[in-house]
Structure formats: C-alpha cells, structure tokens
Amino acid sequence: MKTNHMNQYAVHAILILLTAACVFPFLLLITSSLTQEQAIVRDGYSLLPKAWSIEAYEYLWNKSTSLVKAYGITVTITIVGTTVGLLISALLAYPLSRGDMPLRGTLSFIVFFTLLFNGGLVPTYLVFTEVFDMKNTLLALIIPGLLTNGFFILLIRSFFSTSIPVPIIESAYIDGATEFKIFYQIVIPLSLPILATIGLMLTIGYWNDWFNGLIYVTEPELYSIQNLLNRMLSNIQFLQQTNIGGNNSTAAAGLPMNSVRMAMAVAGILPILCVYPFFQKYFVKGLTIGAVKG
Amino acid sequence: MKKKTTTLLLSIMLVLSLLLAACGSSENGGSASPGGSGSEAGANDSEAVELTMAFINLGTMSDVAAVQEEINKITKSKINATVKLMPIDIAAWNQQVNLLLAGNEPLDLLVTSSFFNYSSQVAKGQLLPLDELLEKYAPEIKNTMPSEIYNGTKIGGSIYGVSSIRDVGADYGMVMRKDLIDKHSIDLSGVKTFEDLGTVFQTIKDKEPGIAPLVQSTQTGTVAYQMYTPQIDPLGDSLGVILLDSNDLKVVNLLETDIFKNKVTLARKWYEAGYIMQDVATTQEQGSSLVKAGKALGYFNNMKPGFEAQESKTTGYEMTSVHLSEPVIQSNGASGFMMSVPRNSENPERAMQLLNLLYTDAEVMNLLANGIEGKHYVKNEDGTIKLPDGVKETTYQFNQWEVGNNFLTYVWEGTDKDIWKQTKKFNESAKVSPALGFSFDATPVKTEVAAATNVVNQYKVGLESGSLDPALIEEYNEKLKAAGLDKIIAEKQKQLDEWAAANGK
C-alpha cells in the first residue's frame, strides 16, 4: 500500500509541475498586458510588475473598430466552418462505417490518402484563387479548412462502427425508418461525445487559423483576430532581423508596444477559454473512445 | 502502378498549364509595347483599365480605400486608368508575392527589392524588362535620378526595376541623448572616429549609473557591424564582401579582413569596460525603445539627413549625433527598393504611365505618401505638414521610401524643411561602391547559404556585440568554411565578374 502512496505523490508532483508549466506563461501574459510599457523594457517581464497600467487595453479600445471587425470575421468563420465541417465529416463518416456500403474500401482509402499527401502550397493556391476565384473572400477562410479533415472523418467513422451496434440500426430499419431518419434520430444522438470532440477541434482550428488568412487575404477588412496578431508579431520580428536602411525606426514607430501585443493575445484567447469548459467533458470521453478502440 | 501514372500525368498537366500561362502573358507584354507611340498617345483613346499596385505595408492602412479613390480621380483623367492599391504586410510579403507571381492574378506594379529575391525573380522571368517601356512611356524618370542609380538595377543589361528616390546611401555613427551630453558637458566635436567614443562612454558610465552608454539598434545592427560596414560592401548577405578602399571587384572573406578583426576587438574592449549593455546579445528590444525606457545613452546606426529628428520622435528624447564615416552607396543602393512590372500585367504600357506619374506628379505622390489633405494631414504656413488637430494616430501610414519620387512630397513637421535638398546632396556626395547594381542570386548555392546562415546566427551577435571573446573568430571562420563559405565566395565572384563584363565595368 505504501509504495502505492509514493506513486501517487510522484504522479501528483509531476502533474502539478506540468500544470504550472502551462499556467505560468499564461499568467505572465496577463500580467504583462497590464504592465506599464516602460517597466517592461526597464525591468523585464514579471508576475508582479512594479508599475501597473491599463494603457494597452486603452490602446486596443481606441483601435476597437479593426479589432471588432476581426472578431466578427473570426466568429463567423468559426461558426460556419464548424457547423458545415461537422456536417460534412459526419455525413461522410457514417456511410464509411456501414459494412454494407459498396466501394467502402476505396472511399476509405481516398480519405486516408489525403492524410498522407496533399497538393502542395502553390497548386492549392492556384486552384483556390484562379479556378474558384476565392482570393479576398470569406470563403477562402472557410473552404480550405473543410477539405483537410481526413483525420476527423476516420475518427468519427471508428466511433460509429465501434459504439453503435448494428442491431439498433437493423431494428430501426425493420420498424420502417429511412436511412436518413436512422442517421439523425439514432446515430447522431448516440454520437454526441465524438461530435462534440470534433466540433471543439474544428472550433479551435478555425479560431486559431492564420495561415489561410496569410496567403489568401490581402484586405485588412478580412483579417481574422489571429491573422491580425500573427501579422503584427511577424512584422516586429522582421524589423528586428532585417536591416532596411535608416528607416527601421520610422517603421518600428508604427508598431504596437510589448504590452499591447500581450493584450492582443489575451483578447485572442479569451473567448475560446470561455467556450472550452462546456466542451471539456465530451472532449475527454470522445477522444478516448474514438482513438483507443479505433 | 496505375496510381503512380495518374499522379505523374496530373503533375505534367499542371506544369504544362503553368508554362502555357507564363507564355501567354509574356506574349501580351511583348505585343502590347510597340502599340502606342509617345507617352501620352494611346492612353486617352483606349479604354479604361484598372492597374493593381502591390507594396510593402508596416503600419495602419485602414483608409487605403479613400486614398485610392482620390488617386483615381487624377489617374482617370491623366492616363485613363484606375489604381487598385494592394498593401501587403511585410510579414506576409515573401509568401504572398511568390504566390502572386506564380499565379495569374492581375498585378501591374510591384515593389521589388534585392532584400526580397529580386535577382531570382528576374531569373525566373517573373518581371518584365523595362528599357523599352521606360523609353516610350516614362522618358522623364531618367532625369529624376543620377544615372548610376537609374542603371543600378540592371540585370543582364536590362532594367527590371525602377529605384525609388530616397536616401540611397548611408553614413554611420552614433545617436545619443542630447540632455545627458549637455548635462556632463561632453564635447562631441573632438569625436572623429569610433575609437574616440571611448571617453564619452567612460564619462556616462561613471556619472550615470543604470544607463548603458551603448546598446544596439537591432539584433542585426550589431556594434561592430555598424563600424565595419562603411568600409565594405556586403553584397547582400555579408557572406563574401568587397572592400571599398581597394576599389576593385575582388570578393573576400569578411572574417579574414583586418577591418573585421579590429572592430570586433574594439567592441570586446568596450564590452569588458562595461560600456556596452551586458545582455545586449540577447535582448529583444530595439535600441530606440531602450533609450526611451531610460536605459541607454544611444546606439550606432546607419544614418541619413534628418536622422536625429526622426530618432527624437521615436525615443521621446532630443537626440544628437556624431557622423563617423563618409556616406557610402553599396551594391543594393539602387536595387534596395524598386518598382517593377511583373509578367502578370496585362497592360504594361499603362502601368509604366502610372509609374511615370509617381516620379513626376506631386499630387499623386503626395496622396500616396501622405494621404488626403485635411483628413490625414494639414499644411502649416511654412509648407510642412502635420496631423490634423485632434487626430492622435493616423489611419493612413505609408512607408514612402519604397516607392516613387519622394522629393515631390511634403515634409512632416519636426523634420528639416529642405530635407529633400539635403538628401539629394547627401546622395551626390556619397562614395559609390564599384559593385553598385550587382545583385547576388543565391539559388546555385542555396544549401551552402542556408548552412552558413545558421553559423552566422550562432556567432554573429555574440562576437560583434563584444559579448564573446574575439578568439572565437577562428572557430567561427572554420565552421563557416565547413558550411561551404568558399563555394559561396567563388560563386559570388563568378556572378560579379559576369555582371561586370555585362555592364562594362
């Protein structure tokens, strides 16, 4: 029994350390966003800054039109993307999970194939911009995310085929239910954990996506919040690493200060933090069921 | 096997379609240019077109649509074309420009730069040669700048970009807080070389504890870098340089030059004496923000006329400076920032007419550089401009050094009124590198450059800021050689010789 206790302590200690490693940077982020700019440069980042200030948030507030717009874009693409993505994934995964589906192996292989190979950046870009003419549209921020989720489809398929007994489906069929009715009245309600999990992953994916914005969007009107943040940070990085003549500091003068960058990051994470607890219980369950048995 | 064949077929088709697309548009470019005659002819009678102009953005550009509308009013009547301004953040620049040039999107004018793969863009045929177009549609541009700058963008004998008119050269020295210099009555008139600064640093170190006498402007603008650069031409990446004093085109290894060794040793001496901020090699802060926070006296930088005023604005302290080198124009003086016409353009001749306006039309240039009068700036009585009352932050911030004839634009309050005159004089007085106009194409030695860059990242800041013992130069050099520095230098020499032959140097 005693060794067991020791084990417990060791495990707890490790977990506490891991938790601290996750929480500490986050706390630091919040306090630095509330630190006076001069204090950051002078004394460095600290959990208990010598001079507090909300000037960073005031700055953001003054810029609120672009920030609100960016929030609007992010929320829109997240909601639309998650809903549509979930629908497409489930609708594709369900037939793949059914043993009596013709060409099941081939279709599964095609889905699996997209996990290993993709068209590469330039061809993808050309297809989206020239064939579909999506450059600088909201669609460019949504569609690419919908097409690259082979992993999610396989996850949902495994859940369907392992957790939903075939006899239930057969009995519904005998009772006269159509395929579609079976899907949305029996399969979907039984699959909430996996759907919530995939939903959360899609949400996080869309919320954090900046890459599509980076390559498909040049209009500031369409910047999402992560895109805005990423651009700001890379601009700063660029200026630090490149010497573009005597103009460096003029250019730098237009960039936000340390504390503002932190405040922007806080603004970027906050909403997702609020959503997370509601998904969490499904998240753990869905992931373990979908992954381990699959 | 079957799948493989399909994939192969698909990729061949893709390559073919790309090639076809490329041929198609260059044909357009070729056949369109002989069409018009004279710069005005062929403009007003033809139908209206929209020209897309992509440029580097670094600040707030939320009013770009309003400015675009105003510019269009002028361009519509002058060249019967409208402009679509496409600001691209510097962070996304390489990526988006690569994609834009790979595709077939409308793009008529593009900022190009030797910092951003100018030579490989030309090598890939993504930019149009401009000589004929310039001759026909923008003959006045030639007269707005010195001929060595105008011709300084040539590759293989053709002009592929038109340099912006700005401070094409730089002199090197130190900017510092004037209040501290005055407070301790330090006499700067005796400071003629970098070595002379030692006594200034000593005074500040003794009398102002907590303030570092010297910091770096950026991580790449190291202490030693700012001291040796006026004597060399880094030919882009400093991997293989030429010495300006020797006045010939022999590429040498920077690390083996006395200039480099001396300056690194000097930086080390200062660092050990406590003149240089001790964590200078690792700080992420720019020199100007360290001064602003009251942590530093000043920093070395490359300078231009009006630099003190500019830095005073950034740091919040009145800054004074010592200029410790003559102005030099290095190989990228002209090709540092240019305007090119990509092969995507369907109307290269109209794009050239628009470019002509950027060099000759003060109204267009002021709109582009400063925004709309009354909204983004108001005029003072003396001809300078300032933000309108009650406006704290502009909603239109254009980085005007990258585009057009800046000498046509208004000067902001706080900057010397005849700053453009001074800049012109400064450019004319500068020592010109014999390699001006040479732009190194690193593609043939890509692997070596990547490996060498990793080594540079490992040693450069530490050594050149004085934080590391100069004895490590040996090790640095050996590792660079192991990474293929000799091969890079040989390739650079080869390209430089070819360039010199093509340009009759």
User: What is the assigned CATH class of domain A62-292?
Assistant: mainly alpha
Cβ distance of B336 and A244 shorter than 8 Å: yes
Mean pLDDT of B401-429: 86
Mean pLDDT of A249-275: 72
> Residue ranges of the domains in chain A?
1-53, 62-292
By CA distance, what is B307's nearest residue in A? Answer: A246
Q: Most B CBs within 10 Å: which of A64, A129, A218, A224, as the mutation test of the B interface?
A: A218
Q: Output the CA–CA distances (angstroms, integers) from residue A100 to A92, A157, B127, B357, in the order listed.
A: 15, 14, 57, 70
Residue ending a domain, among B406, B426, B441, is B441
C-alpha triplet B292, B295, B299: angle, nearest 5°: 75
Residue ending a domain, among B441, B465, B481, is B441
pLDDT at A201 over 90: no
pLDDT at A250 over 80: no
Residue B183 in domain: yes
DSSP letters along B314-332, please?
Answer: HHSS-EEEEE-S--EE-TT
Cβ distance of A123 and B14 shorter than 8 Å: yes
pLDDT of residue B31: 35
Mean pLDDT of B474-487: 94
B267 touches chain A (CB under 8 A): no
Question: Count of domains in chain B?
Answer: 2
For residues A249 and B286, is the Cβ–Cβ distance under 8 A? yes
CA A109 to chain centre: 26
Handedness of CA A112, A116, A119, A120 (dihedral sign): positive
Higher per-residue confidence, B443 vs A25: A25
Residue B96 in domain: yes
Helix, strand, or coil (residue B111): strand
pLDDT of residue A243: 53
- Phi and psi at residue B323, to the nearest 5°: -100, 120
Q: In what order do the strands lie in the sheet with B319-323?
A: B298-303, B171-177, B319-323
Q: How much is the CA Rg of chain A, to the nearest whole Å?
A: 24
**Scanning the structure block, which residue is given the tokens 């691209």?**
B88
pLDDT at B32 over 70: no
For residues B234 and B333, is the Cβ–Cβ distance under 8 A? no
The pLDDT tens digits for B339-380 are 999 999 999 999 999 999 999 999 999 999 888 988 888 888
How far is B239 from A37, CA to CA, in rounded Å? 38
Share of chain A above pLDDT 90, in %: 15
Give the lowest-confidence range in A37-41, A118-122, A212-216, B451-455.
A37-41
Share of chain B above pLDDT 70, in %: 90
pLDDT of residue A211: 87
Confidence of residue A116 (pLDDT cuts 50, 70, 90): confident
Confidence of residue B4 (pLDDT cuts 50, 70, 90): low
How far is B177 from B319, CA to CA, in rounded Å? 5
Amino acid at B467: S
How far is B290 from A43, CA to CA, in rounded Å? 11
Confidence of residue B251 (pLDDT cuts 50, 70, 90): very high
pLDDT of residue B252: 93
Mean pLDDT of B287-313: 86
pLDDT of residue B359: 93
Higher per-residue confidence, A69 vs B489: B489
For residues A165 and A126, is the Cβ–Cβ distance under 8 A? no
Residue B12 in domain: no
Higher per-residue confidence, B108 vs A233: B108
- B271 & B372 share domain: no
Handedness of CA A71, A76, A77, A83 (dihedral sign): positive
The pLDDT tens digits for B434-473 are 888 888 888 889 899 999 999 998 999 999 999 999 999 9
Using a CB-CB cut-off of 8 Å, the residues of chain B touching A123 are 14
pLDDT of residue A247: 47
How far is A185 from A175, CA to CA, in rounded Å? 13
DSSP letters along A19-47, please?
Answer: HHHHHHHHHHHHHHHTB-HHHHHHH---S
Cβ distance of A246 and B104 shorter than 8 Å: no
B262 touches chain A (CB under 8 A): no
CA A188 to chain centre: 23
Higher per-residue confidence, B478 vs A238: B478
Query: Hey, which residues 164-193 in chain A have their CB within 8 Å of chain B?
Result: none
Confidence of residue B248 (pLDDT cuts 50, 70, 90): confident
Confidence of residue B111 (pLDDT cuts 50, 70, 90): very high
Using a CB-CB cut-off of 8 Å, the residues of chain A touching B303 are 246
Task: Give the domain CATH number at B434.
Answer: 3.40.190.10
The pLDDT tens digits for B184-236 are 988 888 889 999 999 999 999 999 888 999 999 888 888 999 999 999 998 87
Residue B15 in domain: no
Q: Which of B94, B90, B19, B4 is nearest to A121 (CA)?
A: B94
pLDDT at A252 over 80: no
- B176 & B233 share domain: yes
For the whole model, what pTM was predicted? 0.76
For residues B111 and B55, is the Cβ–Cβ distance under 8 A? yes
How far is B249 from B243, CA to CA, in rounded Å? 8
- Phi and psi at residue B56, to the nearest 5°: -80, 135
Q: How far is A199 from chain B, CA to nearest CA, in Å?
A: 30
pLDDT of residue B9: 53
Q: Which of B338, B334, B364, B347 is nearest to B133 (CA)?
A: B347
Cβ distance of A238 and B91 shorter than 8 Å: yes
Q: Which of B171, B174, B170, B172 is nearest to B276 (CA)?
A: B174
Residues whose CB is less than 8 angstroms from the CB of residue B116 and which lie 6 or more positions away in sequence, other chains included: B93, B94, B97
- B32 & B155 share domain: yes
Long-range Cβ contact pairs of A62-65 (< 8 A, separation 24 or more):
A62/B393, A65/B62
How far is B217 from B223, CA to CA, in rounded Å? 8
- B364 & B312 share domain: no
How far is A123 from B439, CA to CA, in rounded Å? 29
Cβ distance of B219 and A237 shorter than 8 Å: no
End-to-end CA distance of chain B: 56
pLDDT of residue A135: 85
pLDDT at B23 over 50: no
How far is B124 from B102, CA to CA, in rounded Å? 10
pLDDT of residue A278: 78
Higher per-residue confidence, B126 vs B62: B126
Helix, strand, or coil (residue B146): coil
Q: How far is A257 from chain B, CA to nearest CA, in Å?
A: 9
- B280 & B309 share domain: yes
How far is B481 from B253, CA to CA, in rounded Å? 10
Q: How far is B38 from chain A, CA to nearest CA, in Å?
A: 35
Q: Which of B331, B340, B272 is nearest to B109 (CA)?
A: B340
pLDDT of residue B28: 38
**Scanning the structure block, which residue is given the tokens 């690569």?**
B98
pLDDT at B433 over 60: yes
Q: Most A CBs within 10 Å: which of B63, B64, B218, as the mutation test of the A interface?
A: B218
**Scanning the structure block, which residue is given the tokens 């109209």?**
B350
- B388 & B495 share domain: no
Q: Most B CBs within 10 Å: which of A36, A38, A40, A41, as the mutation test of the B interface?
A: A41
Torsion of CA B130, B136, B138, B140, to 10 degrees: 120
Cβ distance of A255 and B310 shorter than 8 Å: no
Cβ distance of A253 and B104 shorter than 8 Å: no
How far is B424 from B436, CA to CA, in rounded Å? 18
- B345 & B417 share domain: yes
- Phi and psi at residue B461, to the nearest 5°: -60, -45
Mean pLDDT of A25-50: 83
pLDDT at A32 over 90: no
Using a CB-CB cut-off of 8 Å, the residues of chain B touching A253 are 313-314
Cβ distance of B219 and A240 shorter than 8 Å: yes
Residue B226 in domain: yes
Segment (H or E) for B322:
strand B319-323
Structure tokens at A104: 């099941």
B24 touches chain A (CB under 8 A): no
- B430 & B476 share domain: no
Residue B7 in domain: no
Domain around B470: 170-326+442-505
The pLDDT tens digits for A147-192 are 767 888 888 898 898 888 888 889 999 999 998 999 989 899 888 8
pLDDT of residue A1: 54
A218 touches chain B (CB under 8 A): yes
How far is B21 from B344, CA to CA, in rounded Å? 9
pLDDT at B43 over 80: no
The pLDDT tens digits for A227-249 are 888 877 777 777 665 555 444 44
How far is B367 from B375, CA to CA, in rounded Å? 11
Confidence of residue B307 (pLDDT cuts 50, 70, 90): confident
- B95 & B154 share domain: yes
pLDDT at A292 over 50: no
DSSP letters along B212-241, please?
Answer: BSBB-SSSSS-HHHHHHGGGEE-TTTSSSB
Nearest to A242 among B99, B115, B397 (CB): B115
Query: Hey, which residues 20-79 in chain A have their CB within 8 Å of chain B?
Result: 38, 41-42, 62, 65-66
- Phi and psi at residue B5, to the nearest 5°: -60, -45
Residues in chain B: 505
